Amino acid sequence: MSVTALLDGPGAEVLAAACTAYQPGRELQLVEKLRRRYDATLVTTAVTQASLRHRAVAKFGADAERMYFTPDGLEQATRTRVGAHRAARLAATLPGAGLVDLGCGIGGDLITAARAGLHVTGVERDPETAATARANLAALELPGDVLVGEAESTDLTPYDVVFADPARRADGRRLFDHNAYSPPWSFVTALLERTACVKVAPGIPHDAIPDRVEAEWISDAGEVKEAALWSGELYGGTPRRATLLPSEATVTQAPEADTGPVGRYIYEPDGAVVRAGLVTAVAAAVDGWLLDPRIAYVTAAEYVPTPLASTYEVLEELPYKEKALRAWVRSQGIGTLEIKKRGVDLDPAQLRKKLAPKGSASATLVITRIDRDAVAYSCRRVAPGATAEGPV
């Protein structure tokens, strides 16, 4: 049964009842209870929707309580904080512009764009998903329209800017090859010849990005979420950018950096900085250098707070041998062991199991490669709230 069955009448009534009584893990009991009063099919649809709303809070916050979802639509939707960042950039460059969202899904990007003052139109080939997007705009009292249609056949001439989020899944599996996107990559590159913003997977190869298109890798709370390709009037004049949310810290330049031995601190650049190839920006920010020119670890003699990286104080260098590491874990009474690694072929979970931490202490083990040799460092994570006067 479609989401539209829940918009009014008995459907809206049973949805309200389902959302009020919903408890994770007790869906079957709720279905049985509501079926005593309502149509069985309608109850199943409403309880499914209540479950999706509960899950959607992580992406949409308080808006989730009023929105409508499909399982695939929720899975593929942009997190509100990321969408709002993108919409703010669009609105700052093209205030009040007419935007068409090709493949709008359940309307997450339409919502943030409409709130930023853009005039939005969504295009979605699946009628049920389009109806869901339309319902979400209405539920949040936002202006906009949603059309049922194919992205490739949409007339783009009435719009100032095109937004697209090509499908990156097939048969329930995530696609990593940009040539397997739908609409195809040739369609995406054609869009980027005009004023457009295209959301792509963060693993997009740098050499696949057309000239005079900015690729912005975006992370949220340390997790890389996407790359956004900006073209036409939205092109910022730089080929690569990393933006970190919620701080809004952003970097575009990769200055030269020296390579040298480990200092007192190791800095692990945010994933967006790494994906953008801007690791040396961290070295510049902390007056540091690279441990190895091919590895995304920065080191420095002093602690310098930066939103661009996580920081670890180096306590000692350890032999990268299982027996030696196990002895270190026992001697330090380590029970909680964080393992960070770059440039070495190992599974942190398997290594942690072999080291068998059982004590009450906590530690971080940084394992990396310098030249051809693997090295390990016993470290202490520096809290994000630390100051330049010293870690807290």
Side chain identity at residue 116, one-letter code: A
Give me the mean pLDDT over the 32-40 stretch: 94
Question: Is the confidence at residue 238, as pLDDT, over 50?
Answer: yes
Scan for tokens 């000692």, then name that residue: 316
**In three state form, how does the secondary structure of the chain look?**
CCHHHHCCHHHHHHHHHHHHHCCCCCHHHHHHHHCCCCCHHHHHHHHHHHHHHHHHHHHHHHHHHCCCCCHHHHHHCCCHHHHHHHHHHHHHHCCCCEEEEECCCCCHHHHHHHHCCCEEEEEECCHHHHHHHHHHHHHCCCCCEEEECCHHHCCCCCCCEEEECCECEECCEECCCHHHCECCHHHHHHHCCCCEEEEECCCCCHHHCCCCCEEEEEEECCEEEEEEEEEHHHCCCCCEEEEEECCCEEECCCCCCCECCCCCEEEEECHHHHHCCCCHHHHHHHCCEECCCCCCCEEECCCCCCCCEEEEEEEEEECCCHHHHHHHHHHHCEEEEEEEEECCCCCHHHHHHHHCCCCCEEEEEEEEEECCEEEEEEEEEECCCCECCECC
Q: What is the model's pLDDT at position 174?
A: 66
Q: What is the model's pLDDT at position 171?
A: 57
Classify the phi-psi angles of 212: left when phi > 0, otherwise alpha if psi is within -120 to 50, otherwise beta: left
98 HSE (CA, 13 A, CB side): 7
Question: Is the confidence at residue 69, as pLDDT, over 70?
Answer: yes
Query: Crossing angle of helices 108-115/80-93, nearest 10°?
Result: 50
152-161, 164-173, 258-267, 311-320: which range is least confident on average? 164-173
Give me the mean pLDDT over the 258-283 stretch: 97
Q: What is the model's pLDDT at position 2?
A: 82
β-strands 223-231, 196-200: how paired? antiparallel
Give me the mean pLDDT over the 315-337 stretch: 95
Six-digit token string for 127: 């009628």
Phi then psi dihedrals of residue 183, to 5 deg? -60, 160
Condensed to tens digits (0 to 9), the pLDDT of residues 211-231 reads 999 999 999 999 999 999 999
**Given pLDDT bands bounded at 50, 70 and 90, which one contains residue 167?**
confident
Q: What is the model's pLDDT at position 383?
A: 86
Calculate what percentage of the chain has a pLDDT beyond 70.
96
Highest CATH level, class, for 75-245: alpha beta
Q: What is the model's pLDDT at position 392?
A: 44
Angle at 379 between CA 341 and CA 300, to 5 degrees: 85
In this structure, the chain runs to a length of: 392
Q: What is the model's pLDDT at position 170?
A: 59
Question: Could you give the CA distance from residue 369 to residue 355 in angstroms, rounded to a whole number?
Answer: 20
Of 262, 210, 218, the residue nearest 244 (C-alpha): 218
Rg (CA), the chain: 25
Contact 221, 238 (CB under 8 A): no
Q: What is the model's pLDDT at position 23?
A: 96
Q: What is the model's pLDDT at position 182?
A: 85
Tell me the pLDDT of the chain averaged across its residues. Answer: 94
